[in-house]
Structure 1
Amino acid sequence: MRDLQARAEGLSVDLASGQWKPNRFDKRALRKLTGADGPVIHRDGITSMFIELYDKHGPWQVNKMTSRLVTLLANSAAAQDLPSIAELPEAQEALSAVTSVIRSAA
Structure 2
Amino acid sequence: MRDLQARAEDLSADLASGQWKPNRFDRRALLQLTGAEDPVIDREAILTMFDELYKEHGPRQLNKMTSQLTTLLMNTAAAQDLPSIAALPEAQEALGAVRSLVQSAA
TM-score normalized by structure 1? 0.99
TM-score normalized by structure 2? 0.99
Q: Between Structure 1 and Structure 2, how many residues are aligned? A: 106
CA distance in 1, matches of 2:45, 2:27: 16
CA distance in 1, matches of 2:69, 2:20: 10
Mark the runs of 5 or more structure 1 residues left unpaired by the alignment.
none
SS, match of residue 40 in structure 1: coil
Match for residue 34 of structure 1?
34
SS, match of residue 38 in structure 1: coil
Match for residue 47 of structure 1?
47
Match for residue 13 of structure 2?
13
Match for residue 66 of structure 2?
66
- State the 4+ residue runs in structure 1 displaced beyond 6 angstroms: none
CA distance in 1, matches of 2:43, 2:17: 28
Match for residue 91 of structure 2?
91
Deviation at residue 82 of structure 1 after TM alignment: 0.2
Task: Establish whether residue 23 from structure 1 lines up as the match of residue 12 from structure 2.
Answer: no
CA distance in 1, matches of 2:32, 2:57: 14
